[in-house]
Amino acid sequence: MHKEAQELIDFINNSPTAFHATQNLETELSANGFIKLDPSQKWDLKIGEKYFVSRNDSALIAFIPGQDFLDHGFRIISAHTDSPALKIKPDPLIENEGQLVLNTEIYGGPILNTWYDRELSIAGKIVLKSEKSFELKEELIDLEKNIAIIPNLAIHLNREINQKAKINKKKGLRALITQTKAKENNLAEKDELDFSLNKLITQNTEYELTEIVESELYLYPSQRAQFLGAEAEYIAARAQDNLSMTHAALKAIKSSKTHKWTQMTIFYDNEEIGSQTPQGADSPFVSNLIERIIYNLGANKEDYYTILEKSFLVSADMAHAVHPNFGEESAQNNRAFLNQGPVIKYNANLKYTTHATTAGVLIDLMDKNDISYQIYTNRSDKKGGSTIGPIAATQLGIKSIDLGNPLLAMHSSRELGGSLDHKQMIKLMKLFLKED
């Protein structure tokens, strides 16, 4: 019924971290004829081939060189692979009251109370020993089972929880993982538990304890993404912001062929923490790559500036849908609804990059191809969230538009999207990449 939405659900279920999302992007692109480039080596690019390059195992750029890119520039779609999360701290185990908890740190801006009383697993990257210290191996892991939980304090011990639900970020987000006390014959006896996070990893993977040098791990809700609603009209899943746009952009670029302009999809990391990293939008990652591509194909520095003037960036990040219980929190007219199509996002202070010229291009495309669309602005007295659009457009100096699909419970550990919207967004992104 919802083929594209089911593919999105599968993508989310297989992408517990930005590392895994990027690995899945690589797998899909390689299977569709894209060649992985080594950024530390010289390139010999050819028109008619498809390429991608990754950074930090968590960001990726795919591109198809255009036959006449000097006169037609670049068509770029950008999204991001990361989502708000709880990151496991180094040396995380803390013993309290005969139990072991994992110490965590907040990544981005999650709705914290949605992480309580929810089955959690662990995924991320581990660094393994090698003969050479500067050539250590890195592998992704996903324990893929219920490992931990952050239990609420009972209402009888916290009578004001429904009135004052402030969360203690220092200790209120530690995840219970195992016990250190056992009871036998009604007598409490200290059971010295031989337990470590690395041992847990080795018990659930093929790696040896002595191999592990370091790790970068996250908790994630282990409940699977799935359809919801009387007619499966919703998707309930973690990290739809922004894996939904990541998946849509992937679908668009992997089905595209060579055109006059160069097509590019950017999958940044670290949007949720401000983008100021080597793999984030506020870096020279993309501008350097564009220069490298065109110089490799025979262009010069002057061409670089003219190409940017002829280029167009779509910043794809999820949009706020009207809440059925809190409709007054949305703008009176410029509001978005689930399953009503892609959302063009405006802001007078250019927190979104959309303006009439760029919006007109996509509106015309959608009108000509029977794609319904919506217009969104924040309520005038409310500050909206950030996107990669203004940062990426500023770094590149090209015209840009912000759009995304509508979403409820954004930044919750369980967000709610519309199952019909994903197909429409994929259709729009494909048109953007291929239409004159």
Per-domain boundaries in the chain: 3-83+238-434, 85-221
How far, in Å, CA of 319 to CA of 346, rounded?
Answer: 11
Angle, CA 111 vertex, CA 162 and CA 414 arms, to 5°: 105
- Summarize the confidence of residues 382-409 as an average pLDDT: 91
The residues with which 190 forms a beta bridge, in sequence order, are 181
Predicted TM-score (pTM) of this structure: 0.95
pLDDT at 184: 46
- CA distances from residue 32 to 12, 61, 235, 255 in whole angstroms, order as listed: 20, 15, 27, 8
Which residues have a Cβ under 8 Å from the Cβ of 144 and sit 6 or more positions away? 121, 204, 222
* Least confident range of 202-206, 236-240, 299-303: 202-206
- State mean pLDDT over 406-414: 98
| pLDDT (tens digit per residue) in 154-170 | 999 988 888 887 888 88
Q: What is the average per-residue pLDDT within 26-45?
A: 97
Q: Over range 317-323, report the average pLDDT.
A: 97
Alpha helices (runs of H) in 205-320, residue ranges in sequence order: 240-254, 285-296, 301-309
Q: In this predicted structure, what is the pLDDT of residue 181?
A: 67
Q: How many CA atoms are closer than 13 Å to the CA of 38, on its beta-carbon side?
A: 3
> In which band, very low, low, confident or very high, does the pLDDT at 182 lie, cut at 50, 70 and 90?
low
Confirm if 63 and 51 have CB atoms less than 8 A apart. yes
Asked if residue 192 has pLDDT above 80, the reply is no
Tell me, what's the pLDDT at 185?
43
- Could you tell me the pLDDT band of residue 1, with boundaries at 50, 70 and 90? low
Task: Report the chain's mean pLDDT, rounded to a whole number.
Answer: 94
Span 3-83+238-434: which CATH code? 3.40.630.10
User: How many CB atoms are located within 10 Å of the residue 349 CB?
Assistant: 9
* CATH classification (class only), 85-221: mainly beta
How is residue 229 written in tokens?
């609603």
Q: What is residue 155's DSSP assignment?
A: G
